[in-house]
Amino acid sequence: MLNISFSHIPSVGVATERRIWDSGVRTMDDFLESPPGFLSLNKQKKIAGHIHLSKEKIRNKDARYFYDNLPSKEHWRIFKEYQYTTAYIDIETTGLGTPGDVITTIALYDGKNINYYINGKNLNDFKKDIRKYEVIVTYNGKTFDIPFIERYFGIGISHAHLDLRHILYSLGYSGGLKSCERQLGIGRTGVLADVDGFFAVLLWNDYKHKRNDKSLETLLSYNIEDVLNLEYLMTEAYNRKLRDIPFDIESISIPETPKNPFKIDTPTVNRIQNQYYAY
């Protein structure tokens, strides 16, 4: 997708980009071979210089360059070129970020490997591992997950950040993560299908206070399921955004979701639900 993009180039807005496409120039290479005649020679030369820079940035896997220069509503375009250096991230916490709240677990999936981090065990490893990636994908992470991570660890997360909450909203899908999953045909089943985020707090408290490993395993299953579904949603959103491009662009195959390494312990879930949700 980036090879057909021009709106990250200074002085080329989305309207000018559309005129470039309509002139028959579809790719950066097309522009270098035969620039559109409606542009002045001076502007053709300036755009060509930026195209050479853009091609270099693609070769060097510099996602941040495009993230910083594309209009925010077009950030989705970077996904295909950086698909294999993307981390899908979700955190669980003891609250919404008030003093004293902590991160309990973090799930990170990169399309191949599932990593998980647990408070009191390996949580600090996340700070090192996240540096391996160019792009992060979250749901509502710009508002919650990433600011919480930055405050908790005292670090900056400078990655190109695709927040699916905003991308899906632009496609007409709104609500929480589980709601968007259902709208796009991957609704969850089982005992945790309809629970809210507060239940993750209850699972952590049960693990800490009762030393119940089944509660931790259930929490990790819940956390990891989120990031596995983020990959599906990001791919589906990217393919649907391609429909706005006025010519055919190859879509991305929907990935096969790996097996979640943790299982939900139904007796533990039922016990906690009966204790806190019984009427």
**Domain coordinates in residue numbering, the chain:** 2-60, 83-276
Average pLDDT over residues 71-83: 96
Residue 30 has pLDDT above 70, yes or no: yes
Average pLDDT over residues 250-269: 94
- In three-state form (DSSP H/G/I as H, E/B as E, the rest C), the secondary structure along 106-169 is EEEECCCCEEEEECCCCCCHHHHHHHHCCEEEECCCCCCHHHHHHHHHCCCCCCEEEEHHHHHH
CATH class held by domain 2-60: mainly alpha
Residue 80 has pLDDT above 90, yes or no: yes
Tell me the percentage of the chain whose pLDDT exceeds 90.
Answer: 88
Residue 169 has pLDDT above 80, yes or no: yes
- Compute the C-alpha angle 114/197/143, nearest 5°: 80
117: phi then psi, degrees, rounded to nearest 5? -130, 135
Average pLDDT over residues 80-91: 96
| pLDDT on residue 196 | 72
| pLDDT on residue 140 | 96
Residue 278 has pLDDT above 70, yes or no: no
The three-class DSSP label of residue 91 is strand
Average pLDDT over residues 187-205: 81
Tell me the percentage of the chain whose pLDDT exceeds 70.
Answer: 99
Per mean pLDDT, which range of 155-159, 170-174, 190-194 is the poorest? 190-194
Residue 139 has pLDDT above 70, yes or no: yes
pTM (global) more than 0.85: yes
Per mean pLDDT, which range of 7-11, 24-28, 43-47, 188-192 is the poorest? 188-192
Q: Are 114 and 258 in contact (CB under 8 A)?
A: yes
Residue 174 and residue 247: Cα distance in Å, rounded?
A: 27
- The mean predicted confidence, pLDDT, of the chain is 94
| pLDDT on residue 194 | 67
| pLDDT on residue 99 | 80
Residue 191 has pLDDT above 70, yes or no: yes
| pLDDT on residue 96 | 75
Average pLDDT over residues 235-240: 97
Average pLDDT over residues 202-227: 95
- In three-state form (DSSP H/G/I as H, E/B as E, the rest C), the secondary structure along 168-229 is HHHCCCCCCHHHHHHHCCCCCCCCCCCCCHHHHHHHHHHHHHHCCHHHHHHHHHHHHHHHHH
- Tell me: the pLDDT tens digits for 49-64? 999 999 999 999 999 9
Residue 203 has pLDDT above 70, yes or no: yes
Residue 171 and residue 213: Cα distance in Å, rounded?
A: 40
DSSP 83: G
User: Does 2-60 match 83-276 in CATH topology?
Assistant: no
CATH for the stretch 83-276: 3.30.420.10
